[in-house]
């Protein structure tokens, strides 16, 4: 046992003599047996790094980034429901603007018109070339009088034969689409009195 301790001490001395102590300085390249954890190819936060153009390892958020949790908050704009109840919102939770309507038109034509048709009457291309015969007519009185939140729910969750469009249509865009659907509905329900005077004659023809 004594010889073992002496031998072991000698081995340790030799190893330390050749390899040096951890953290010691040397001009020669250090011997690293298992070095994979010592130097990791990662960016450490808050230190300069010339990999990225502005030499910062911590990059600012890209414009338009929102915290993940915001989309899951229990607020009307996310759920389409009056907080604390299961009742649907009657009208849009976002301001009705020209941009919203334009965005809604574009999104409707991309995501909804293949089935519901460009006019929302349920005569999209899918009805003509496939057996999808029961696409809802968005001009039905039932849908005209439906709360906006319920249409939001249909886009988000789907309804009967219609699948969910949550993956394709962002939340803000769903409200934009609803604004546009309302405009489409109004286009069929408006009376002559609501048309500007100078355009009435053309409509009467």
Binding site residues, ligand HEC, CB under 6 A: 111-112, 114-116, 126, 132, 134-136, 138, 143, 151, 154-155, 159-162, 165, 169, 177, 181
Q: Which is nearer to ligand HEC, 100 or 155 (CB)?
A: 155
**Shortest distance in whole angstroms from residue 122 CB to ligand HEC:** 8
Give the per-residue SS3 of 100-153. Answer: HHHHHHHHHHHHCHHHHCCCCCCCCHHHHHCCCCCCCCCCCHHHHCCCHHHHHH
- What count of other Cβ atoms lies within 10 Å of the Cβ of residue 190? 11
Q: Which is nearer to ligand HEC, 128 or 204 (CB)?
A: 128
Q: Which is nearer to ligand HEC, 30 or 163 (CB)?
A: 163
CA 189 – CA 182 distance, rounded (Å): 10
**Shortest distance in whole angstroms from residue 80 CB to ligand HEC:** 12
**CB-based contact 153:88 (threshold 8 Å):** yes
Q: Which is nearer to ligand HEC, 57 or 96 (CB)?
A: 96
φ/ψ (deg, to 5) at 39: -120, 110
Q: Which is nearer to ligand HEC, 81 or 116 (CB)?
A: 116
**Shortest distance in whole angstroms from residue 162 CB to ligand HEC:** 3
What residues pair up with 88 in beta bridges, in sequence order?
A: 81
**Shortest distance in whole angstroms from residue 119 CB to ligand HEC:** 13
Q: Which is nearer to ligand HEC, 20 or 76 (CB)?
A: 76
**CB-based contact 188:137 (threshold 8 Å):** no
SS3 label, residue 162: strand
CA 109 – CA 160 distance, rounded (Å): 22
**Shortest distance in whole angstroms from residue 164 CB to ligand HEC:** 10
Helix axes 98-111, 171-189, angle to 10 degrees: 90
**Shortest distance in whole angstroms from residue 92 CB to ligand HEC:** 13
- What count of other Cβ atoms lies within 10 Å of the Cβ of residue 109? 13
């Amino acid at each position: 046992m004594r010889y073992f301790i002496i031998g072991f001490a000698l081995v340790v001395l030799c190893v330390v003599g050749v390899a040096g102590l951890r953290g010691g300085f040397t001009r020669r390249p250090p011997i690293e047996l298992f070095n994979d954890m010592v130097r990791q190819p990662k960016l450490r936060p808050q230190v300069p790094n010339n990999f990225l153009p502005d030499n910062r390892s911590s990059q600012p958020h890209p414009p338009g980034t929102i915290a993940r949790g915001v989309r899951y908050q229990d607020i009307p704009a996310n759920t389409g429901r009056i907080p604390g109840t299961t009742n649907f919102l009657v009208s849009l939770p976002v301001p009705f603007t020209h941009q919203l309507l334009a965005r809604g038109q574009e999104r409707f034509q991309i995501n909804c018109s293949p089935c519901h048709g460009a006019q929302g009457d349920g005569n999209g291309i899918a009805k003509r070339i496939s057996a999808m015969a029961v696409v809802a007519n968005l001009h039905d009185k039932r849908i005209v009088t439906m709360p906006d939140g319920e249409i939001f729910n249909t886009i988000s969750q789907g309804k009967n034969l219609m699948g969910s469009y949550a993956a394709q249509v962002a939340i803000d865009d769903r409200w934009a689409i609803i604004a546009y659907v309302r405009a489409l509905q109004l286009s069929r329900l408006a009376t002559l009195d609501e048309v500007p005077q100078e355009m009435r004659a053309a409509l009467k023809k």
